[in-house]
Amino acid sequence: MPLGLEHLSIDYVKWMNDPEIIAYLETGGDYTIEKLKEFLTQIEKYPILFWAIHLKSTNKHIGNIKIDPVNLKHKYGEYGIMMGDKAEWGKGFAKEASQLVISYCFSVPLNLRKINLGVYSENISAIKLYKNLGFVEEGRYIKHVITKKGYDDILRMAIFNPSYE
């Protein structure tokens, strides 16, 4: 479902301050309930492709996925995912949600041609997930980001819409 104010929760604030979850994200570490409320208010105002991932069994909110920004001229969009509920990692939920979002974006009316992403080369589980989904490496920005260990490369990966081949 679309991410919005109904997803405001203490658990979500905790995700955004958890060093393990945000280690490879460009946001987080300074979240309060007020800051999260402001973020979700902004998300609701603009028609962007940003969804909450819920467990089918209990409807629990366990993460988010987005395709943003989207370039409508060249028909590509930038993918991002965060599974906030660590108890649900490694169960295939990120893969399932990603497959749904990719097939939605590759279908009419959006009909994107390509989906891109950037990932820290140290983020092993994310890279494994992306390769499983069919993303291929397109390039690498060397020592692009500062990490606790020093620097890390950013891999640029992409998946193409087969209907354009």
- Looking at the Cβ atoms of 19 and 109, the one nearer to ligand COA is 19
Q: Which is nearer to ligand COA, 35 or 128 (CB)?
A: 128
Question: Can you tell me which of 40, 49, 52, 83 binds ligand COA, judged by CB under 6 A?
Answer: 83
Residue from the set 94, 102, 105, 158 that interacts with ligand COA by CB under 6 A: 94
Pairwise CA distance, residues 47 & 67, whole Å? 11
Compute how many other C-beta atoms are within 10 angstroms of the C-beta atom of residue 11: 13
Helices (H), 16-156: 19-22, 33-45, 93-105, 124-133
Interface with ligand COA, residue 145, by CB under 6 A: no
Provide, rounded to whole angstroms, the least separation between the CB of residue 105 and ligand COA.
17
Closest CB to ligand COA among 44 and 78?
A: 78
Q: Does position 15 bind ligand COA by CB under 6 A?
A: no
- 17 within 8 A of 31, measured Cβ to Cβ: yes
Query: What whole-number distance in Å separates Cα of residue 104 and Cα of residue 112?
Result: 9
Among 16, 43, 81, 154, binds ligand COA (CB under 6 A): 81
Residue 75 CB burial class (10 angstroms; 0-12, 13-18, ≥19)? middle
> How many C-beta atoms surround the C-beta of residue 88 within 10 A?
16
Binding site for ligand COA (CB under 6 A): 21, 24-25, 81-83, 89-95, 119, 123-126, 128-129, 132
